[in-house]
Amino acid sequence: MSTSEQAADGAAYDRLSELKAFDNTMAGVKGLVDSGITTVPAIFRRHHHHSISSGGGAITIPVIDLSAASSPDLVAQVKAAAETVGFFHLANHGIPGELLSEMLTSVRRFNEGPTESKRPYYTRDPNRRLRFNSNFDLFQSPAANWRDTLFFSAPSPDEPPPRHEDLPPPVRHVMLEYAAAARAVAGTVLGLMSEALGLPRGHLAGIGCADGVSVVCNYYPPCPEPELTMGCSAHSDPSFLTVLLRDAHDESPEAGGLQARLAGGEGWVDVPVVPGALLVNVGDLLHLVSNGRFRSVEHRVVANRSRDKARVSVACFCNADIARSTRLYGPIPELITSGPVGDGAARPVYRSVTVPEFLAHYDKKGLDGRPALDHFLLH
């Protein structure tokens, strides 16, 4: 990275020095807001002013009720959603509303506590089980995003839990319980997705698709110039499956929130919140092992247009056990058929990759607007 760059408004500035100065505060975007800034600093400004308004209203994302349909109906609903929009709301998922509410409240409590209480957890060391920072790709991305993140790599079922005192006080009473509950929901969904691919119900779980769960708690402070930056740049998820919890009170057409791009669409459309439901989406690795049958959809978060209230969300990325997995993941052999092209044959679209290799590429690339999966295409 050169030390002298042009800001989005054309003015020259030392970007690397400003990035380091921001990172060294260990206060994140919340610290900037608390300082009383009235303009967005240059490191956050997007050079290309793509519209952040939604172009097609709200996405038609299905609501799948785990308690209301027979198993064949559920499989058909999951299959249709995964093959088209890549998202679905999951209602009656079994996680108590009190736990959902407390998880969101604890994330808000952590981020809105004193800066001094958060600094011990501030790090860019990817090997730390728990870490707090602003923008995992701060030094790679073309523009930083207006958000702070608390990341927790939940222990696998056969691992001992972390010590109580190693978790921040605002979240220590709820983090492990919520991670376990989200893992259970993911296991149910992966069973339905296995059947939707014509495989035994336990196939995707059996190859480790939810052995690892990363709890990613995002905090989006109010932004003084939301049209100049993003809450989260366009991306698809580096997971097999993502289970997202949002606060229905936080997101509105006025405040902004999650947007996605439908297949073949050129614009962005709002993804509504369904109170009490979780939002589930196909990740890049499930797209890969399904040989493209299930769609990992590009999505983003607009900067918070509220004047006084932050938005919070909790994403659980379901993956292999990142620390221990050496398995190669490629298109599932049962989904590959032989025969003349155009006669129902399916050829492998992607090469095989380990999850650590995929994540290393994703992290090195950052949220730069390029699909991470393209790197693994077979040509």
If one compares 224 and 12, the residue with the highest pLDDT of the two is 224
CA 101, chain centre distance (Å): 19
Per-residue confidence (pLDDT) for residue 307, from 0 to 100? 86
Which domains occur in the chain, in start order?
A: 12-376 (2.60.120.330)
Residue-wise pLDDT for 261-311, tens only, equals 876 566 788 999 999 999 999 999 999 999 999 999 999 999 999 988 999
Highest-confidence range of 8-12, 265-269, 339-343, 373-377, by mean pLDDT? 373-377
**Distance (Å, whole) CA 348 – CA 351:** 7
Alpha-carbon distance of 210 to 318, in angstroms, equals 5
Q: How far apart are CA 56 and CA 78, in angstroms?
A: 23
Q: Measure the CA angle with vertex 271, ends 364 and 294; round to 5°.
A: 60
- 307 contacts: CB under 8 Å, gap ≥ 6: 222
Q: Is the CA virtual torsion 194, 197, 199, 204 positive or negative? A: negative
Rounded to an integer, the average pLDDT of 120-129 is 95
pLDDT tens digits, residue range 164-206?
Answer: 899 999 999 999 999 999 999 999 999 999 999 999 999 999 9
What is the per-residue burial (b if ≥16 Cβ within 10 Å, else e) of 195-230? bbbebebebbbebbbbbbbbbbbbbbbbbbebebbb
pLDDT tier at 11, thresholds 50, 70, 90: low
Residue 267: DSSP 8-state? S
> Quick one: average pLDDT of 136-165?
94
Most confident of 58-62, 215-219, 266-270: 215-219
DSSP 8-state symbol, 329: E
**φ, ψ at 373 (rounded to 5°):** -65, -25
Number of H helices, E strands in the chain: 9, 16
